[in-house]
Structure 1
Amino acid sequence: MLDERSSTLLKLITSSRTATFKELTQQMSCTRRQIVYDLAKINQWLNSQGLPLIANQRARGLTADTAVREFVLRSPPQVKFSTYLLSKEERVFCIIIQLFVRDEHISLFHFTSRFKTSRNTALADIQRANQYAGSFQVAVVYTRGKGYHLAGEERNKRSLVMKCISRLLHQVNGMRILERVLADKQKESVFPARFACACSALKEAEDALQLVYVEEKVNAIAVFLAILFSRGDERQHVDFSQEEQMLLRQTREFDAAKLLIARCGQDDDELEVCYIALLLLSISLKRSDYQIDSKHMQMLYQLILAVVEEFELLACVAFADRKKVIETLFLHMKPAYYRIVFQIPITNPFLQQIKTEHFDLFTLVKKAWERFEHVVGIPLPEDEIAYLTLHFGALLEAQGGLHIRRKQAIIICPNGVGTSNMLKEQIEKLVPEISITAAISLREFQEEHETQCDLIFSTVFIQTEKPVIVVNPILSSLDKATILREVYTIVHGKSRVAPSVQDIMQTVKRFAVVADEDGLRSALTTALTGSMAENIRRYKPVLKELLTEDMIQLHERVKDWEEAITLASQPLIGIHAIEARYVEAMIQNIRRLGPYIVLTPRVAVPHARPEDGVKKVGISLLKLSEEVAFSEESDRRANLIFVLAAIDSETHLRALGQLTELISETDNVDKLIAAKQKEEILQMVEHYSRQ
């Protein structure tokens, strides 16, 4: 019997044609020594089953015999969980959930015995739990009469617990941890039965509302309902204002919530029905009718229109299919609106990866949605912004040209529409010989056993006789290299012979001192991926690579805005980045559309379309001591004119994101205008180019 980590490692190895130690350490977030240790356990288990061992072949990596793949597919190894020790983070989540459902006096001994920790460790865990709860205006407190318990408003307690559930479910052992922690008094936990009942009730609600929820979000809500309905005396109701109750009663979800509560054997309390209706409204949708069915949704629709326009101005792009953009964002924002307004938390497990891999786009999306925040009066959580970043990324990727269609593939991804679409666009660009015919959830795949496809890309492990490539929802350079290698093997029936990153690293180190091995390894992986994919993803320059000393001009004044744009464009004309007709196109755009290029007070970013005379990507700056007016309005004047030349909808985004960060701070704008020397400006450009 294997433990959880060894079982996961075996799944990774058998789901790929080959797997290197470097890939596995990154995917498993563990050391090479741990991989070697787990591999020994796997081979011991394989030997006990009379199966060939995992082989480590030089220049290829770890490979599993076909017999092993077929056996693991038919009979996955049983996993030993009883010896699993919770991490610090997992213990914090479990403490909060236990305090939420408690119906007895809970002391320190309860935690030391439950988690098999020392008294000091338990006290430290409780302190961490209190700190985490504090961000939801909830406290973990102790009194002699009640023992340890949660103090705060009921709505905040529920938001806190939903966040803990969401975080746990993104752990490999999340559901099993929940089963263990909720089996406190009974040897046989009643949680699985309650969870199954909640899932069934949610499916009935989904059918009644004629919607298709995102599978991952349904599971989180089902777990929460199973926990909520198991509470004893601690259970209270969430207060709603009369206006909020009226809003919720007018929705179809209110009637569905009544049926759900009855299905789960709960009392039909009006406030609890309102809360369950709110949960149903907040679940992310995979498919829905395109309806604007209330004044709030009409307001949301208008806000989305405004945000899309703002994004186009900030990113210097124009969406070819505006209707598709609006429909995609409205589908996502309809439940997100209720989550944001009523502060129902979600967890985006890819937040940090999105901020790292797509920092430029994340910055522009965050800036564009400030208008929404201003109207609603509530800031967007970064988890929500990250999901919106995926949507905008997929929409930008879709602006590309035609793809060669050959082998057909599907994507199985339970993480939502934005993630699925982003993954689809990236894979189709990476391997043009593959046509992605659908992006479906695991549940949809299980219901449609005879799906017609040649290949499956999946973000979760699945059992199927089709060739499967397991990928991360957000593709890194390493993921792209793996996809290319796997697809080549599947399509052509043989491995592609190419030098490995490690071979190149060893060669480089023979002749040079490598200051940043991880950076070089990542760059080499990206370079090899790019050559294999015929450079389908262009290099995105940083701000300092475009806004160089030669691209900056310092002047006292100009006679009008037309002269400002003409003068600001000269450095780009000088390096043949743009033609003269591009300048005229920018001027005509402003005459026709107004001074939209003034993105923030005292800063203008004029631009036109790539086909208007752009030869290569570039940015130039004209700094004026005296502001120039782009209209009679006082806020449409500028001292800083940044001319942008974009060759497509993507290549300039990294530099533009850094520029947006730079000019978003009023102090930075003041310093740029006050600069007497180009060097002062270049120092600021250098700083923001590191973002």
Structure 2
Amino acid sequence: MVRLTKRQEVILGELVKNAPEGIALSQLSKITKVSRRTLYREFNELSLYLQHLGLNLQNEQGRYVLVGKNVALKQLQVILGMQTELVEPLKPKSRQNALAALLLLADQPQKIISLALELDVSEGTIQRDLSGLEEAFASFAIKLQRQKGVGVWLETTELKRRQFLSEIMLNELNDYQFFAYLDDKTTIVPDFFLRLLPKKLLQQCYQGLEQKILPKLKVTSDHQVLQLVILFAICLVRSKKHPVKVELKDQLLRYQALVYAFLSAVDEELEQNELTYLAYQLKKGDQNAKSFTYTDEYELAVSLKVKALIALVSQDMKFDFSRDLVFFKKLSRHVITLLKQPHQGLPNVRIETLARIKNDHPELFACVKRAWKEIFFEQTISETELQLILLYFASQYVETKRSDKLAVLIVCENGIGTSSILKQRLKKELPQVKHFKLARIQELNELELGEYDIVLSTLRLPGFPREYQIVSPLLTKEELMRLKTYIKDYQRKYFAKVATRKNKQFNGKLPQTLSFIAATAFFCTELVNELQVKKVDNTGFDLRQTIEKLVGEIGNNIILNEAEAVTALEKRQRLAPIGLPDSSLALLHTTSCAIKRCHFAIFELTEPITMQAMDQRPIVVKRMLVLLAPENMSQIEQDALGTISSMIILNDDTLALFEQGDQKALQSELAKRFLKEIKAGIPI
């Protein structure tokens, strides 16, 4: 399989154009702007290719002529036209990867001129690329050797050679183009990296894997299949001359059996070490890949709009809301439900919990409101629904810890080996990054992506919801410069101001301030000490009867009139859903003249109740959180109850604590939060 260089295209084009008379060497030298010596070398390179097509290049009285049948000449003409249309020059980064791949595949030292011709660049460009690669290779203990008159070669282990070669190819190849190429019967190859391995061998490996191995593995993506095809093909190409040495492990026996079946299908034989090597590759790939797809086209369209909404709010607030996948999924699901069932949205009435969040975050609410109008301009929703959307953003804005230091996730093909060295290089070159995490693509399911500011990957991640940067395993100087620029832009974009929760400041003279703090501490202490987690038997009760039971448990030291309190609570739950999304909790709250003083209680139900959550989805409520307050509250009381509400609905960690925590753990967490709020407001 041959991909012609630009110069070779020009030479053959002139020969075809001037057939059958031929063209003088001096004229061809003038057109191509190269010496006669270079042309002789090109003729030598092209001779085998022309013979394959049924053509010969002959010198007839000083003129060079293509000799062969007209059909062969027409075929060459078609090939030149197609290649000119399809083949594009490699970009610098891909060219360096191509050069590295050629050296990794080579059995002997390579001449600079041969590499230049192969990549269609000057010898000087190859020399410069080699200088950049030399430093990158050295980081991985791979030695680039140069010797005048001999050439260039790499000194490394066979395992490293194969690992690097496969990672480079995975980094450069496109899944769709690769499988289209395997099905295509044309001899023209539009991609340099596709021709690194014989097409027939790639097809053989793909068919063998499809017949004998893939049905028995948990391989769920085209990219995983591509990875296995490349690994098996490289093994078959290099195993006879360059065997690997690996240890046999008992847990690989199942995968070795699959390799035996594959070899039988492709009629090949391998030594035991190579069998073990391929078995290990199968074991690594035998996991479910992360899926980021939508089955419903409408849901996909809405999720893309949600992504744009998040990007717009992030830009306005100088805060990266896009980093947390859980946040993106929750908000997408909420908006999809809202737009699919617009008549079931929240009523446009004041809901204290949501209104309080709006008051605490006026700038964020204004940004969300503007972004909604711009992205979802066709859908008008109520102020209350906008406040609920604000809730999702506020949760991220309040709880995400920010600093000037960044956290970076590096997604690699295997998470070890080259990846670890890549991590060390980045650690050295990027001091503004406080934390690096290595992960394989199969591990993305288990990771909290929101913990990382930036995602880097040595391979493409089709459908991945986060913005990410591709880096090659070698990390050349050019890539490093690009990364540094990207990180600076990221910091400038999202770190212009640090997100902090709005702190309540105690104004006035110091004696009055001291009294205010003392009163706040006393009130908060009462709330914490009175908090109880109680189990109540509501077997066979409907919702009203359950509310009556809970009010009765609270007692007359808090409630003046039980009937009025029950009516107020029932009225509130009819006004709008009180279930908390993605939980087994409902927040039953009211302010009423039937309430003597503020109180917070948690009741575990013996018989769970199915209720609507704020996002209009049904949830099964196992715990009822009851928050009661008198009709006229002081500022201290409002602030303290607001803190409790925020704890419950703004933070996933404390939400889980309210779902499962015991009385002691909840009292401790509540006291810690109150202390934090009080300390934040002390003006000394």
TM range (shorter): 0.3 to 0.5
TM-score normalised by the chain length of structure 2: 0.37
